[in-house]
Structure 1
Amino acid sequence: MKIGLYFGSFNPIHNGHLIIANFIAYNTDLDMVWLVVSPQNPLKSAGTLLNEHHRYHLVELAVQGAPRLRASNIEFSLPRPSFTIDTLTYLAEKFPTHEFSVIMGSDSLENLPRWKNYEQLIRQYPMYIYMRPGHPASELAGASITVLEAPLLDISATAIRRWIKEGKPVRYLIPDNVAAYIEENNYYR
């Protein structure tokens, strides 16, 4: 089985994430896309992160009824901060019959040389890159890269968190069941 790993803080998950994940699940040779909730991105501040288990639950709610999308909390049990290469090494051992690949935006591709053991990452794992405006997909020697023109929504989790804090509606930006759960639990207030 071919699994694409879409890593993110998902703080909170929004329709932009889901559109990309669903597009890649149905427009590539991947069988499934796992949305991997990162407890802490080593290149981002932890300051505004909702608890990882709450973020994971929001992703679970968001992918309900989507047969080719799955929430994954695999990084919760790995050493912190989580590094993509370590997660992939662990998954390859745990699921030896699966083929794993990485899904990322062309903006993240630009930062790849800053990632831990990025040479090993690009040598061992295929990459599915969705285009982000202003960030051309650069070639990386030795990398297996598939570039995709996925539909993009210009929305950000930062803006969504601000709107929630200000009491503004976030309908149409995040799934209704996710919005209801955030409201019920008073997240991001």
Structure 2
Amino acid sequence: MRAGLPRARAGMVVGLLGGSFDPPHQGHVHITRESLRRFGLDRVWWLVSPGNPLKAAGPQPLVRRMAACAAIMDHPRVTITDIEARLGTRHTAATLARLQRMYPGVRFVWLMGADNLAQFHRWHRWRWIMQNVPVGVLARPGSGMAARRSPAAARFENARLPASAARRLGRTRPPAWCMIDVPLVALSSSAIRARGDWGPQGRG
């Protein structure tokens, strides 16, 4: 692979956790560790995005967010990467298509919270994502109702794996998705920004 890009061998199952990480926090760390264990992943890559197309305001500079991610997420099987900025991709579908071409034989799993599944039908080429990459959904216990009733969940209801089969997700031919209940840390990036702990003055 080219310098600066993550490494993965054919046959590996790699979870992809995308986001602006503006800022990263212990909630991100917690769901990453749970994903490694519950979905049986070999690796997780944090895809620190240049910006979120669904958000009007831009995030903090990428270099700052990358440094903050590296400081908070210390795990031998987790890689922090700015690969989307390097590839010049703006949407998740385009990123996934490029990764599949660049890493033949690697099995990718897209990771996201139940809140994202609830509005997944707004994503660019969301059907393509579901049809080409297994999706692991993490929900707080008892809070996934909106996700379960979402257009995406309804459209791909027949492709849903039970939580008991979560470890098979990465080796199941898509479309395939699985929702697991995970006691999530009560933190959010927006709440941290609202407190003023992360801002242009370099606090955080």
The equivalent position to 1:151 in structure 2, one of 177, 183, 186, is 183
In structure 2, what is the equivalent of residue 72 of structure 1? 81
Confirm whether residue 93 of structure 1 aligns to residue 125 of structure 2.
no
Match of 2:127 among 111, 119, 137: 119
Secondary structure of the residue aligned to 1:10 is: coil
Q: Residues 1-189 of structure 1 correspond to what in structure 2 (within 5 A)?
A: 1-47=12-58, 49-64=59-74, 66-79=75-88, 82-132=90-140, 134-136=143-145, 137-138=147-148, 139=153, 140-141=155-156, 142=159, 143-165=175-197, 186-188=201-203
Deviations 1:13-64 (A, max 9, x none): 00011100111111212111111111111001234x1101110121122223
Cα distance between partner residues in 1 of 2:40 and 2:185: 23
Q: Which amino acid aligns with 1:2?
A: V
Unpaired stretches in structure 2, ≥5 consecutive residues: 1-11, 160-174
Given the two structures, how large is their TM-score scaled by the length of structure 2?
Answer: 0.75
1:107-134 superposed Cα distances (whole Å, 9 cap, x missing partner): 1112111111111110110000011464
Task: State the alpha-carbon separation in 2 of the partners of residues 151 and 38 from structure 1.
Answer: 26
SS in 1 for 2:72: helix
Q: CA deviation at 1:97?
A: 2.4
Query: What TM-score do you get using the length of structure 1 for normalisation?
Result: 0.80
Runs (5+) with no aligned partner, structure 1? 166-181
Instruction: Report the Cα distance in structure 2 between the residues aligned to 1:79 and 1:46, rounded to whole angstroms.
Output: 19
Residue type at the aligned position of 2:202: Y
Conserved? CA contact 1:50–1:188, under 8 Å: no
Q: Tell me, in whole angstroms, the C-alpha distance in 2 between the residues paired with 1:77 and 1:46.
A: 21
Q: 1:96 Cα deviation (Å)?
A: 1.0
Shift of 1:188: 4.3
One-letter code of the match for 1:29?
G
- The count of residues paired between Structure 1 and Structure 2 equals 169
Once the two structures are superposed, what CA deviation does each residue of 1:131-161 show, in whole Å capped at 9, x if it has no partner?
A: 1464423234254111111221221212222
2:177 and 2:49 mapped to 1: Cα distance? Answer: 23
Fraction of identical pairs, as percent:
30
On the 8 A contact 1:22/1:69 being kept in 2, the answer is: no
Which region of structure 1 is more displaced relative to structure 2, 15-24 or 141-150? 141-150
